Structure 1
Amino acid sequence: MGTGFSFFLGETSTGLLGSSSLPAKPGLGDLPESCISSIFMYLDPPEICKLAQMNRAFRAASLADFVWESKLPSNFKFLVDKVLDHENLPKKEIYARLCQPNCFDGGTKEVWLDKSCGQVFLSISSRALRITGIDDRRYWSHIPTEESRFHTVAYLQQIWWVEALGELEFEFPRGSYSLYFRLQLGKTCPKRFGRRVCNADQVHGWHIKPVRFQLSTSDGQHALSECYLHQQGSWVHYHVGDFVVIDNHKPMKIKFSMVQIDCTHTKGGLSLDSVLIYPSKFREKLI
Protein backbone atom coordinates (compact mmCIF):
# COMPACT_ATOMS: atom_id res chain seq x y z
CA MET A 1 0.00 0.00 0.00
CA GLY A 2 2.84 2.37 0.87
CA THR A 3 4.59 1.65 -2.38
CA GLY A 4 1.49 2.46 -4.38
CA PHE A 5 1.01 5.73 -2.53
CA SER A 6 4.63 6.78 -3.09
CA PHE A 7 4.38 5.97 -6.82
CA PHE A 8 1.27 8.18 -7.10
CA LEU A 9 3.09 11.08 -5.45
CA GLY A 10 6.07 10.57 -7.71
CA GLU A 11 3.90 11.40 -10.76
CA THR A 12 2.79 14.70 -9.41
CA SER A 13 5.57 16.16 -7.27
CA THR A 14 9.32 16.56 -7.16
CA GLY A 15 11.88 15.39 -4.59
CA LEU A 16 10.12 12.16 -3.62
CA LEU A 17 11.03 9.70 -6.35
CA GLY A 18 13.06 11.94 -8.60
CA SER A 19 14.36 15.43 -9.16
CA SER A 20 11.60 16.37 -11.67
CA SER A 21 8.02 15.42 -12.54
CA LEU A 22 7.13 13.19 -15.45
CA PRO A 23 6.36 14.89 -18.80
CA ALA A 24 2.85 16.26 -19.09
CA LYS A 25 0.41 14.27 -21.17
CA PRO A 26 -0.17 15.68 -24.68
CA GLY A 27 -3.31 17.78 -25.12
CA LEU A 28 -5.49 18.84 -28.02
CA GLY A 29 -3.16 21.74 -28.71
CA ASP A 30 -0.35 19.30 -29.50
CA LEU A 31 -2.18 17.74 -32.46
CA PRO A 32 -0.55 18.51 -35.84
CA GLU A 33 -2.28 21.39 -37.60
CA SER A 34 -2.75 19.34 -40.78
CA CYS A 35 -4.49 16.62 -38.77
CA ILE A 36 -6.91 19.10 -37.20
CA SER A 37 -7.67 20.64 -40.60
CA SER A 38 -8.46 17.22 -42.02
CA ILE A 39 -10.94 16.63 -39.20
CA PHE A 40 -12.53 20.05 -39.82
CA MET A 41 -13.41 19.00 -43.37
CA TYR A 42 -16.04 16.67 -41.88
CA LEU A 43 -17.65 19.36 -39.69
CA ASP A 44 -20.21 22.05 -40.46
CA PRO A 45 -19.01 25.69 -40.64
CA PRO A 46 -20.60 26.70 -37.28
CA GLU A 47 -18.84 23.78 -35.58
CA ILE A 48 -15.50 24.79 -37.12
CA CYS A 49 -15.89 28.37 -35.89
CA LYS A 50 -16.67 27.18 -32.35
CA LEU A 51 -13.66 24.85 -32.20
CA ALA A 52 -11.39 27.58 -33.58
CA GLN A 53 -11.86 29.43 -30.29
CA MET A 54 -10.32 26.61 -28.22
CA ASN A 55 -6.63 27.30 -28.81
CA ARG A 56 -4.08 28.61 -31.31
CA ALA A 57 -3.61 25.28 -33.05
CA PHE A 58 -7.34 24.92 -33.72
CA ARG A 59 -7.58 28.51 -34.88
CA ALA A 60 -4.68 28.10 -37.32
CA ALA A 61 -6.13 24.85 -38.64
CA SER A 62 -9.51 26.52 -39.18
CA LEU A 63 -7.93 28.97 -41.65
CA ALA A 64 -6.77 26.32 -44.11
CA ASP A 65 -8.03 27.00 -47.64
CA PHE A 66 -8.80 23.35 -48.36
CA VAL A 67 -11.13 23.24 -45.33
CA TRP A 68 -13.32 26.09 -46.57
CA GLU A 69 -13.14 25.14 -50.22
CA SER A 70 -14.84 21.89 -49.23
CA LYS A 71 -17.70 23.97 -47.73
CA LEU A 72 -18.15 26.29 -50.70
CA PRO A 73 -20.73 25.38 -53.36
CA SER A 74 -19.49 24.00 -56.67
CA ASN A 75 -20.37 27.30 -58.37
CA PHE A 76 -18.36 29.49 -55.98
CA LYS A 77 -16.03 30.73 -58.75
CA PHE A 78 -19.09 31.88 -60.70
CA LEU A 79 -20.37 33.67 -57.57
CA VAL A 80 -17.00 35.29 -56.90
CA ASP A 81 -16.86 36.65 -60.45
CA LYS A 82 -20.45 37.89 -60.23
CA VAL A 83 -20.68 39.54 -56.81
CA LEU A 84 -17.24 39.91 -55.19
CA ASP A 85 -14.62 42.52 -56.04
CA HIS A 86 -11.57 40.40 -55.16
CA GLU A 87 -10.78 36.93 -56.42
CA ASN A 88 -7.59 36.23 -54.45
CA LEU A 89 -9.19 36.12 -51.03
CA PRO A 90 -8.70 33.31 -48.50
CA LYS A 91 -11.42 30.70 -48.89
CA LYS A 92 -12.74 31.37 -45.40
CA GLU A 93 -13.17 35.05 -46.27
CA ILE A 94 -14.94 34.11 -49.51
CA TYR A 95 -17.32 31.86 -47.56
CA ALA A 96 -18.03 34.60 -45.01
CA ARG A 97 -18.72 37.21 -47.70
CA LEU A 98 -20.97 34.93 -49.73
CA CYS A 99 -23.05 34.23 -46.61
CA GLN A 100 -24.02 37.91 -46.66
CA PRO A 101 -26.69 39.18 -49.10
CA ASN A 102 -24.80 40.12 -52.28
CA CYS A 103 -26.49 42.33 -54.87
CA PHE A 104 -26.08 42.04 -58.63
CA ASP A 105 -27.82 43.22 -61.81
CA GLY A 106 -28.05 46.78 -60.57
CA GLY A 107 -29.24 45.83 -57.10
CA THR A 108 -32.39 44.09 -58.38
CA LYS A 109 -31.21 40.61 -57.37
CA GLU A 110 -29.49 39.14 -54.32
CA VAL A 111 -27.67 35.86 -53.71
CA TRP A 112 -26.37 34.40 -50.46
CA LEU A 113 -25.27 31.13 -48.89
CA ASP A 114 -26.80 29.39 -45.92
CA LYS A 115 -24.21 29.73 -43.13
CA SER A 116 -24.67 26.18 -41.91
CA CYS A 117 -24.48 24.23 -45.15
CA GLY A 118 -23.31 26.55 -47.95
CA GLN A 119 -26.43 26.09 -50.12
CA VAL A 120 -27.35 28.86 -52.57
CA PHE A 121 -30.40 31.15 -52.17
CA LEU A 122 -31.66 33.83 -54.56
CA SER A 123 -34.10 36.72 -54.34
CA ILE A 124 -35.33 38.77 -57.31
CA SER A 125 -36.90 42.19 -56.74
CA SER A 126 -40.23 43.24 -58.26
CA ARG A 127 -38.22 45.92 -60.09
CA ALA A 128 -36.50 43.15 -62.08
CA LEU A 129 -39.87 41.90 -63.41
CA ARG A 130 -41.78 43.01 -66.50
CA ILE A 131 -45.13 44.02 -65.03
CA THR A 132 -47.99 45.10 -67.27
CA GLY A 133 -48.92 48.73 -66.55
CA ILE A 134 -46.11 49.26 -64.02
CA ASP A 135 -45.30 52.74 -65.40
CA ASP A 136 -48.90 53.96 -65.11
CA ARG A 137 -49.54 55.25 -61.61
CA ARG A 138 -53.27 54.74 -62.07
CA TYR A 139 -52.52 51.03 -61.69
CA TRP A 140 -49.20 50.39 -59.99
CA SER A 141 -46.83 52.25 -57.67
CA HIS A 142 -43.61 51.45 -55.81
CA ILE A 143 -44.10 51.57 -52.05
CA PRO A 144 -41.11 51.89 -49.67
CA THR A 145 -41.19 49.39 -46.83
CA GLU A 146 -38.87 47.78 -44.29
CA GLU A 147 -40.58 44.44 -44.91
CA SER A 148 -38.71 43.86 -48.17
CA ARG A 149 -35.00 43.09 -48.46
CA PHE A 150 -35.08 45.46 -51.46
CA HIS A 151 -36.81 48.18 -49.36
CA THR A 152 -39.61 48.63 -51.90
CA VAL A 153 -42.54 46.61 -53.27
CA ALA A 154 -44.83 47.01 -56.27
CA TYR A 155 -48.38 47.82 -55.17
CA LEU A 156 -51.43 47.38 -57.39
CA GLN A 157 -54.37 49.71 -56.88
CA GLN A 158 -56.63 48.27 -59.57
CA ILE A 159 -56.29 46.76 -63.04
CA TRP A 160 -58.02 44.38 -65.42
CA TRP A 161 -54.97 42.47 -66.66
CA VAL A 162 -52.34 41.27 -64.19
CA GLU A 163 -49.10 39.95 -65.67
CA ALA A 164 -45.63 39.81 -64.07
CA LEU A 165 -42.85 38.11 -66.05
CA GLY A 166 -39.25 37.46 -65.09
CA GLU A 167 -36.18 35.61 -66.22
CA LEU A 168 -32.79 34.70 -64.82
CA GLU A 169 -29.60 33.16 -66.14
CA PHE A 170 -27.55 31.66 -63.34
CA GLU A 171 -25.11 28.85 -62.61
CA PHE A 172 -26.63 26.72 -59.86
CA PRO A 173 -24.95 23.91 -57.93
CA ARG A 174 -26.40 20.47 -58.58
CA GLY A 175 -29.66 19.85 -56.73
CA SER A 176 -33.41 20.51 -56.56
CA TYR A 177 -34.77 24.07 -56.25
CA SER A 178 -38.17 25.63 -55.62
CA LEU A 179 -39.42 28.98 -56.93
CA TYR A 180 -41.90 31.22 -55.10
CA PHE A 181 -43.65 34.56 -55.54
CA ARG A 182 -43.78 36.60 -52.31
CA LEU A 183 -47.15 38.38 -52.26
CA GLN A 184 -49.45 40.14 -49.85
CA LEU A 185 -53.10 41.12 -50.17
CA GLY A 186 -53.08 44.58 -48.66
CA LYS A 187 -50.80 47.59 -48.37
CA THR A 188 -48.31 47.77 -45.52
CA CYS A 189 -48.55 51.16 -43.78
CA PRO A 190 -46.25 52.89 -41.27
CA LYS A 191 -46.42 51.29 -37.84
CA ARG A 192 -48.82 52.68 -35.26
CA PHE A 193 -47.75 52.54 -31.63
CA GLY A 194 -45.11 50.01 -32.64
CA ARG A 195 -47.63 47.65 -34.22
CA ARG A 196 -47.67 46.47 -37.85
CA VAL A 197 -50.52 47.91 -39.94
CA CYS A 198 -51.81 46.56 -43.26
CA ASN A 199 -54.56 48.36 -45.18
CA ALA A 200 -56.79 45.91 -47.09
CA ASP A 201 -59.41 48.43 -48.28
CA GLN A 202 -58.48 48.04 -51.97
CA VAL A 203 -58.29 44.23 -51.96
CA HIS A 204 -60.81 42.80 -54.42
CA GLY A 205 -61.25 40.43 -57.34
CA TRP A 206 -58.87 37.64 -56.31
CA HIS A 207 -61.54 35.17 -55.21
CA ILE A 208 -63.25 35.01 -58.62
CA LYS A 209 -60.53 33.35 -60.70
CA PRO A 210 -57.20 31.81 -59.64
CA VAL A 211 -53.78 33.25 -60.40
CA ARG A 212 -51.65 31.12 -62.71
CA PHE A 213 -47.96 30.64 -61.91
CA GLN A 214 -45.50 29.14 -64.39
CA LEU A 215 -41.80 28.43 -64.78
CA SER A 216 -39.67 26.92 -67.53
CA THR A 217 -35.96 26.21 -67.84
CA SER A 218 -33.54 26.17 -70.76
CA ASP A 219 -33.16 22.38 -70.47
CA GLY A 220 -36.88 21.73 -71.00
CA GLN A 221 -38.33 21.61 -67.49
CA HIS A 222 -41.79 23.10 -66.91
CA ALA A 223 -44.03 23.71 -63.91
CA LEU A 224 -47.53 25.15 -63.63
CA SER A 225 -49.70 25.90 -60.61
CA GLU A 226 -52.90 27.82 -59.94
CA CYS A 227 -54.00 29.38 -56.69
CA TYR A 228 -56.70 31.70 -55.39
CA LEU A 229 -55.27 34.58 -53.37
CA HIS A 230 -57.29 34.89 -50.19
CA GLN A 231 -55.00 35.44 -47.19
CA GLN A 232 -55.02 39.16 -46.37
CA GLY A 233 -52.63 41.19 -44.27
CA SER A 234 -49.55 38.96 -44.32
CA TRP A 235 -46.81 37.94 -46.73
CA VAL A 236 -47.30 34.56 -48.35
CA HIS A 237 -44.85 32.53 -50.46
CA TYR A 238 -46.81 31.06 -53.37
CA HIS A 239 -45.08 27.97 -54.70
CA VAL A 240 -44.70 28.09 -58.49
CA GLY A 241 -42.86 24.80 -58.97
CA ASP A 242 -39.55 22.98 -58.75
CA PHE A 243 -36.64 22.41 -61.10
CA VAL A 244 -33.58 20.16 -60.94
CA VAL A 245 -29.99 21.09 -61.81
CA ILE A 246 -27.88 18.20 -63.11
CA ASP A 247 -25.06 20.01 -64.93
CA ASN A 248 -23.64 22.27 -62.23
CA HIS A 249 -21.03 23.94 -64.44
CA LYS A 250 -23.41 25.37 -67.03
CA PRO A 251 -25.63 28.46 -66.56
CA MET A 252 -29.36 27.71 -66.65
CA LYS A 253 -31.95 30.11 -68.03
CA ILE A 254 -35.20 30.28 -66.06
CA LYS A 255 -38.40 32.06 -67.07
CA PHE A 256 -41.25 32.53 -64.60
CA SER A 257 -44.55 34.34 -64.51
CA MET A 258 -47.65 35.25 -62.53
CA VAL A 259 -50.80 36.08 -64.52
CA GLN A 260 -54.50 36.68 -63.95
CA ILE A 261 -55.78 37.93 -67.30
CA ASP A 262 -59.51 37.32 -67.00
CA CYS A 263 -60.83 40.74 -68.04
CA THR A 264 -64.37 40.15 -66.78
CA HIS A 265 -63.48 41.82 -63.50
CA THR A 266 -60.85 44.10 -61.97
CA LYS A 267 -58.28 43.07 -59.36
CA GLY A 268 -56.57 45.27 -56.80
CA GLY A 269 -54.92 45.68 -53.42
CA LEU A 270 -51.94 43.40 -54.18
CA SER A 271 -48.36 43.91 -52.98
CA LEU A 272 -45.68 42.16 -55.03
CA ASP A 273 -42.33 41.98 -53.26
CA SER A 274 -40.05 39.46 -54.94
CA VAL A 275 -39.41 36.05 -56.42
CA LEU A 276 -37.41 33.57 -54.32
CA ILE A 277 -35.41 30.53 -55.39
CA TYR A 278 -34.57 28.19 -52.50
CA PRO A 279 -33.14 24.67 -52.29
CA SER A 280 -36.24 22.47 -52.15
CA LYS A 281 -35.31 20.97 -48.77
CA PHE A 282 -35.83 24.42 -47.19
CA ARG A 283 -39.49 24.57 -48.29
CA GLU A 284 -40.82 24.17 -44.73
CA LYS A 285 -38.70 27.11 -43.63
CA LEU A 286 -40.56 29.41 -46.04
CA ILE A 287 -43.98 28.03 -45.19
Structure 2
Amino acid sequence: MGSGFSFLSTPMDNSSTRRRRTPELGDLPEDCVAEVLSHLDPPEICRLAKLNLAFRGASSADFVWESKLPANYESIIHRVFESFPMSLCKKDIYGKLCRPIDIDGGTKRFWLDKVRGKACLSISSQGLSITGVDDRRYWNRISTNESRFGTIAYLQQTWWLEIEGEVEFPFPVGTYSVFVRLQLGQTTSNRFGRQTCNTQHVHGWDKKPVQFKITTSSDQPLVSQRFLGETGKWVLHHCGDFVVEDCSKPVRVKFSMTQIDCTHTKGGLCVDSVLIYPSQFRREG
Protein backbone atom coordinates (compact mmCIF):
# COMPACT_ATOMS: atom_id res chain seq x y z
CA MET A 1 0.00 0.00 0.00
CA GLY A 2 1.69 3.15 -1.16
CA SER A 3 5.35 3.85 -1.89
CA GLY A 4 8.18 3.83 0.64
CA PHE A 5 11.14 6.17 1.05
CA SER A 6 13.13 4.50 -1.72
CA PHE A 7 14.99 6.38 -4.44
CA LEU A 8 15.69 9.31 -2.15
CA SER A 9 18.99 10.00 -3.91
CA THR A 10 19.78 10.67 -7.56
CA PRO A 11 23.14 10.88 -9.30
CA MET A 12 24.43 14.32 -10.30
CA ASP A 13 26.86 12.97 -12.86
CA ASN A 14 29.04 9.95 -13.49
CA SER A 15 31.26 10.75 -10.53
CA SER A 16 30.88 9.18 -7.09
CA THR A 17 29.43 12.43 -5.76
CA ARG A 18 25.70 12.14 -5.21
CA ARG A 19 23.12 14.74 -4.23
CA ARG A 20 20.33 13.60 -1.92
CA ARG A 21 16.75 14.53 -2.92
CA THR A 22 14.57 16.14 -0.25
CA PRO A 23 11.77 13.71 0.81
CA GLU A 24 8.31 14.80 -0.28
CA LEU A 25 4.80 14.10 0.99
CA GLY A 26 4.27 11.77 -1.94
CA ASP A 27 6.98 9.50 -0.57
CA LEU A 28 4.93 8.62 2.52
CA PRO A 29 3.37 5.15 2.49
CA GLU A 30 -0.42 5.24 2.14
CA ASP A 31 -0.95 3.30 5.36
CA CYS A 32 1.00 5.95 7.30
CA VAL A 33 -0.97 8.73 5.64
CA ALA A 34 -4.24 6.95 6.41
CA GLU A 35 -3.27 6.65 10.07
CA VAL A 36 -2.73 10.41 10.23
CA LEU A 37 -5.99 11.15 8.40
CA SER A 38 -7.98 9.02 10.83
CA HIS A 39 -7.31 11.67 13.51
CA LEU A 40 -8.69 14.54 11.41
CA ASP A 41 -12.20 15.82 10.76
CA PRO A 42 -13.91 14.79 7.48
CA PRO A 43 -13.56 18.23 5.81
CA GLU A 44 -9.81 18.18 6.55
CA ILE A 45 -9.53 14.67 5.12
CA CYS A 46 -11.25 15.77 1.92
CA ARG A 47 -8.98 18.80 1.56
CA LEU A 48 -5.80 16.77 2.06
CA ALA A 49 -6.99 14.19 -0.48
CA LYS A 50 -6.24 16.79 -3.15
CA LEU A 51 -2.51 16.93 -2.31
CA ASN A 52 -1.29 13.90 -4.26
CA LEU A 53 -2.04 10.29 -5.18
CA ALA A 54 -0.87 8.90 -1.83
CA PHE A 55 -3.21 11.16 0.13
CA ARG A 56 -6.04 10.53 -2.32
CA GLY A 57 -5.73 6.79 -1.92
CA ALA A 58 -5.35 6.97 1.87
CA SER A 59 -8.39 9.24 2.18
CA SER A 60 -10.63 6.42 0.95
CA ALA A 61 -9.42 3.80 3.42
CA ASP A 62 -12.31 2.11 5.23
CA PHE A 63 -10.75 2.35 8.69
CA VAL A 64 -10.37 6.13 8.26
CA TRP A 65 -14.09 6.64 7.66
CA GLU A 66 -15.30 3.96 10.03
CA SER A 67 -13.73 6.02 12.81
CA LYS A 68 -15.98 8.93 11.76
CA LEU A 69 -19.20 6.91 11.66
CA PRO A 70 -21.29 6.43 14.84
CA ALA A 71 -20.51 3.16 16.61
CA ASN A 72 -24.05 1.93 15.87
CA TYR A 73 -24.21 3.19 12.29
CA GLU A 74 -25.61 -0.13 11.07
CA SER A 75 -28.62 0.21 13.40
CA ILE A 76 -29.12 3.76 12.13
CA ILE A 77 -29.02 2.56 8.52
CA HIS A 78 -31.70 -0.06 9.24
CA ARG A 79 -33.86 2.65 10.86
CA VAL A 80 -33.63 5.29 8.14
CA PHE A 81 -33.39 3.25 4.92
CA GLU A 82 -35.81 0.67 3.58
CA SER A 83 -32.94 -0.92 1.67
CA PHE A 84 -29.26 -0.10 1.70
CA PRO A 85 -26.22 -1.52 -0.20
CA MET A 86 -23.95 -2.46 2.72
CA SER A 87 -21.23 -3.31 0.20
CA LEU A 88 -20.49 0.41 -0.15
CA CYS A 89 -17.18 1.64 1.17
CA LYS A 90 -17.30 3.44 4.52
CA LYS A 91 -16.62 6.81 2.88
CA ASP A 92 -19.72 6.47 0.71
CA ILE A 93 -21.79 5.29 3.69
CA TYR A 94 -20.70 8.40 5.59
CA GLY A 95 -21.64 10.57 2.64
CA LYS A 96 -25.12 9.04 2.35
CA LEU A 97 -25.83 9.49 6.06
CA CYS A 98 -24.76 13.15 5.91
CA ARG A 99 -27.53 13.92 3.41
CA PRO A 100 -30.89 14.71 5.08
CA ILE A 101 -33.05 11.57 5.01
CA ASP A 102 -36.82 11.76 5.43
CA ILE A 103 -38.30 9.02 7.63
CA ASP A 104 -41.68 8.08 9.06
CA GLY A 105 -43.62 9.27 6.06
CA GLY A 106 -41.64 12.48 5.70
CA THR A 107 -42.64 13.79 9.14
CA LYS A 108 -39.11 13.38 10.50
CA ARG A 109 -35.65 13.96 9.09
CA PHE A 110 -32.29 12.49 10.07
CA TRP A 111 -28.74 13.45 9.11
CA LEU A 112 -25.16 13.23 10.33
CA ASP A 113 -23.34 16.49 10.90
CA LYS A 114 -20.76 16.61 8.08
CA VAL A 115 -17.95 17.95 10.24
CA ARG A 116 -18.13 15.64 13.26
CA GLY A 117 -20.38 12.77 12.21
CA LYS A 118 -22.86 13.42 15.04
CA ALA A 119 -26.50 12.33 14.78
CA CYS A 120 -29.19 15.00 14.34
CA LEU A 121 -32.95 14.61 13.97
CA SER A 122 -35.93 16.91 13.46
CA ILE A 123 -39.70 16.42 13.67
CA SER A 124 -41.98 18.55 11.49
CA SER A 125 -45.11 20.26 12.75
CA GLN A 126 -47.06 17.63 10.81
CA GLY A 127 -45.32 14.95 12.87
CA LEU A 128 -46.56 16.54 16.11
CA SER A 129 -49.89 15.99 17.80
CA ILE A 130 -51.49 19.46 18.12
CA THR A 131 -54.81 19.79 19.90
CA GLY A 132 -57.39 21.39 17.59
CA VAL A 133 -55.03 21.65 14.61
CA ASP A 134 -57.75 20.53 12.17
CA ASP A 135 -60.13 23.29 13.27
CA ARG A 136 -59.57 26.21 10.89
CA ARG A 137 -61.03 28.62 13.44
CA TYR A 138 -57.88 28.14 15.52
CA TRP A 139 -55.07 26.65 13.42
CA ASN A 140 -53.87 26.79 9.81
CA ARG A 141 -51.25 24.86 7.87
CA ILE A 142 -49.12 27.34 5.94
CA SER A 143 -46.64 26.55 3.17
CA THR A 144 -43.38 28.46 3.54
CA ASN A 145 -39.74 28.25 2.53
CA GLU A 146 -38.81 29.27 6.09
CA SER A 147 -39.26 25.67 7.20
CA ARG A 148 -37.05 22.65 6.50
CA PHE A 149 -40.25 20.75 5.81
CA GLY A 150 -41.97 23.43 3.73
CA THR A 151 -44.98 23.72 6.08
CA ILE A 152 -45.66 25.24 9.49
CA ALA A 153 -48.65 25.23 11.85
CA TYR A 154 -50.01 28.71 12.59
CA LEU A 155 -52.13 29.38 15.68
CA GLN A 156 -54.57 32.26 15.32
CA GLN A 157 -56.14 31.95 18.77
CA THR A 158 -56.83 29.31 21.40
CA TRP A 159 -57.61 28.87 25.07
CA TRP A 160 -55.82 25.51 25.31
CA LEU A 161 -52.36 25.01 23.80
CA GLU A 162 -51.16 21.42 23.77
CA ILE A 163 -48.48 20.09 21.42
CA GLU A 164 -46.89 16.65 21.75
CA GLY A 165 -44.33 14.68 19.80
CA GLU A 166 -42.53 11.35 20.04
CA VAL A 167 -39.70 9.55 18.28
CA GLU A 168 -37.96 6.22 18.83
CA PHE A 169 -34.45 6.17 17.40
CA PRO A 170 -31.08 4.40 17.89
CA PHE A 171 -29.20 7.49 19.03
CA PRO A 172 -25.43 7.00 19.45
CA VAL A 173 -23.97 7.39 22.94
CA GLY A 174 -23.86 11.02 24.01
CA THR A 175 -25.79 13.95 25.45
CA TYR A 176 -28.52 15.51 23.32
CA SER A 177 -30.49 18.75 23.48
CA VAL A 178 -34.13 19.16 22.48
CA PHE A 179 -35.32 22.41 20.90
CA VAL A 180 -38.61 23.64 19.48
CA ARG A 181 -38.50 26.20 16.67
CA LEU A 182 -41.15 28.91 17.11
CA GLN A 183 -42.00 32.38 15.88
CA LEU A 184 -44.46 34.91 17.24
CA GLY A 185 -46.11 36.53 14.25
CA GLN A 186 -46.65 35.37 10.68
CA THR A 187 -44.13 36.19 7.97
CA THR A 188 -45.77 37.69 4.87
CA SER A 189 -44.46 39.03 1.55
CA ASN A 190 -45.69 42.05 -0.39
CA ARG A 191 -45.88 42.27 -4.16
CA PHE A 192 -42.24 43.41 -4.34
CA GLY A 193 -41.09 40.27 -2.51
CA ARG A 194 -40.16 42.08 0.69
CA GLN A 195 -40.92 40.05 3.81
CA THR A 196 -42.59 41.52 6.87
CA CYS A 197 -44.07 40.00 10.02
CA ASN A 198 -47.76 40.30 10.72
CA THR A 199 -48.22 40.42 14.51
CA GLN A 200 -51.94 41.24 14.66
CA HIS A 201 -52.82 37.88 16.25
CA VAL A 202 -49.94 37.87 18.77
CA HIS A 203 -51.30 38.09 22.30
CA GLY A 204 -51.47 36.28 25.63
CA TRP A 205 -47.92 34.94 25.86
CA ASP A 206 -46.93 37.45 28.55
CA LYS A 207 -49.69 36.26 30.92
CA LYS A 208 -48.37 32.79 31.76
CA PRO A 209 -45.23 30.88 30.74
CA VAL A 210 -45.27 27.99 28.31
CA GLN A 211 -44.27 24.65 29.82
CA PHE A 212 -41.84 22.38 27.96
CA LYS A 213 -41.42 18.75 28.96
CA ILE A 214 -39.19 15.97 27.65
CA THR A 215 -39.15 12.34 28.72
CA THR A 216 -37.00 9.45 27.55
CA SER A 217 -37.34 5.73 28.09
CA SER A 218 -34.49 5.81 30.62
CA ASP A 219 -34.74 9.23 32.36
CA GLN A 220 -37.17 11.04 34.58
CA PRO A 221 -39.28 13.80 32.98
CA LEU A 222 -37.52 17.14 32.60
CA VAL A 223 -39.76 20.22 32.83
CA SER A 224 -38.95 23.86 32.11
CA GLN A 225 -40.99 27.03 31.67
CA ARG A 226 -40.51 30.11 29.53
CA PHE A 227 -42.39 33.23 28.49
CA LEU A 228 -42.56 33.79 24.74
CA GLY A 229 -41.82 37.42 24.00
CA GLU A 230 -39.75 38.10 20.87
CA THR A 231 -41.82 38.71 17.74
CA GLY A 232 -40.93 38.46 14.06
CA LYS A 233 -38.00 36.09 14.52
CA TRP A 234 -37.62 32.31 14.52
CA VAL A 235 -36.26 31.18 17.89
CA LEU A 236 -34.94 27.79 19.00
CA HIS A 237 -36.29 27.33 22.53
CA HIS A 238 -34.18 24.91 24.55
CA CYS A 239 -36.44 22.39 26.26
CA GLY A 240 -33.83 20.25 28.01
CA ASP A 241 -31.18 17.57 27.56
CA PHE A 242 -31.07 13.79 27.77
CA VAL A 243 -28.23 11.27 27.94
CA VAL A 244 -27.78 8.09 25.90
CA GLU A 245 -25.47 5.59 27.58
CA ASP A 246 -26.36 2.46 25.61
CA CYS A 247 -26.62 2.61 21.82
CA SER A 248 -27.51 -1.07 21.42
CA LYS A 249 -31.23 -0.31 21.64
CA PRO A 250 -33.44 2.57 20.45
CA VAL A 251 -34.28 5.44 22.79
CA ARG A 252 -37.84 6.76 22.94
CA VAL A 253 -38.01 10.54 23.36
CA LYS A 254 -41.31 12.30 24.12
CA PHE A 255 -41.79 16.05 23.89
CA SER A 256 -44.65 18.32 24.95
CA MET A 257 -45.35 22.05 24.92
CA THR A 258 -48.38 23.31 26.83
CA GLN A 259 -50.09 26.45 28.05
CA ILE A 260 -53.46 25.29 29.33
CA ASP A 261 -54.42 28.16 31.61
CA CYS A 262 -57.90 28.91 30.27
CA THR A 263 -58.21 32.29 31.99
CA HIS A 264 -56.99 33.98 28.80
CA THR A 265 -56.54 33.33 25.08
CA LYS A 266 -53.25 33.34 23.21
CA GLY A 267 -52.44 33.45 19.52
CA GLY A 268 -50.17 34.50 16.67
CA LEU A 269 -47.78 31.54 17.11
CA CYS A 270 -45.95 29.72 14.28
CA VAL A 271 -44.79 26.17 15.07
CA ASP A 272 -42.15 24.76 12.74
CA SER A 273 -40.38 21.74 14.19
CA VAL A 274 -38.68 20.00 17.09
CA LEU A 275 -34.93 19.46 16.77
CA ILE A 276 -32.69 16.99 18.56
CA TYR A 277 -28.93 17.29 18.23
CA PRO A 278 -25.76 16.84 20.33
CA SER A 279 -25.52 19.22 23.28
CA GLN A 280 -21.92 20.11 22.38
CA PHE A 281 -23.27 21.99 19.35
CA ARG A 282 -25.19 24.26 21.70
CA ARG A 283 -22.14 24.93 23.84
CA GLU A 284 -19.98 25.64 20.81
CA GLY A 285 -22.64 27.91 19.28
Q: TM-score, normalised by structure 1?
A: 0.90
For residues 227-260 of structure 1, give each alpha carbon's deviation from its aligned partner in whole angstroms, at most 9, with x where no partner exists. 1111100011111111111112111111110001
- C-alpha deviation, 1:44, in angstroms: 1.1
Please show how residues 1-287 of structure 1 align to structure 2 within 5 Å.
Answer: 13-14=12-13, 17=15, 22=19, 24-84=21-81, 85-86=83-84, 87-190=86-189, 193-284=192-283
Deviations 1:94-145 (A, max 9, x none): 1112112111001111111111111111111010111000111111111111
Give the Å deviation of 1:54: 0.6
Q: CA deviation at 1:29?
A: 1.4
2:141 counterpart SS class? strand
Q: Secondary structure at the match of 1:59?
A: helix
RMSD: 2.0
Equivalent position SS for 1:234:
coil
Relative to structure 1, is the Cα distance of residues 191 and 145 closer, same or farther in structure 2, using a 3 angstrom cutoff?
farther
Structure having the higher Rg = 1
What one-letter code is carried by the residue in structure 2 that aligns with 1:114?
A: D
- Measure the CA separation in 1 of the matches of 2:224 and 2:242: 14
| Mean Cα deviation higher: 94-103 or 83-92 | 83-92
Contact 1:177 1:243 (C-alpha < 8 Å) held by counterparts: yes
Structure-2 separation of matches of 1:61 and 1:218: 41
CA contact (8 A) 1:221 1:243 kept: no
CA contact (8 A) 1:98 1:113 kept: yes
After TM superposition, give the deviation of residue 178 of structure 1 in Å: 0.8
Q: Give the CA deviation at 1:23.
A: 6.4
SS in structure 2 opposite 1:48?
A: helix
Question: 1:79 is aligned with what amino acid?
Answer: I
Give the deviation of 1:59 after TM superposition. 0.6
Give deviations 1:155-183, integer Å, cap 9, x for gaps: 01111111001111111111111101110
The letter of the residue matching 2:184 is: L
Amino acid at match of 1:65: D
Read off the aligned partner of 2:44 and give its amino acid letter.
Answer: E
| Partner Cα separation in structure 1 for residue 128 and residue 61 of structure 2 | 41
TM superposition shift of 1:25: 4.2
Q: Which runs of 5+ in 2 are unaligned?
A: 1-9
When structure 1 is superposed on structure 2, of 79-88 and 169-178 the one drifting more is 79-88
| Residue aligned with 1:79, SS | helix
Q: Distance in 2 between matches of 1:90 and 1:81?
A: 17
Deviations 1:36-72 (A, max 9, x none): 1111111111111111001111111111111100000
Identify the residue that residue 7 of structure 2 maps to in structure 1.
Answer: none
In 1, the alpha carbon distance for the partners of 2:253 and 2:29 equals 47
Runs of 5+ consecutive residues of structure 1 not aligned to the other structure:
1-10
Please report the TM-score for the alignment, with normalisation by the length of structure 2: 0.91
Deviation of the 1:221 alpha carbon: 2.7
Q: Closer, same or farther in 2 for the Cα pair 1:35/1:285, shift >3 Å?
A: closer
Q: Which residue of 2 aligns with 1:4?
A: none
Q: Which amino acid aligns with 1:37?
A: A
Q: Distance in 1 between matches of 2:182 and 2:284?
A: 17
CA-CA distance at 1:215 after TM superposition: 0.7
Question: In structure 2, how many angstroms separate the alpha carbons of the residues matched to 1:74 and 1:37?
Answer: 20
Aligned residue pairs total 275
Letter of the structure 2 residue corresponding to residue 177 of structure 1: Y
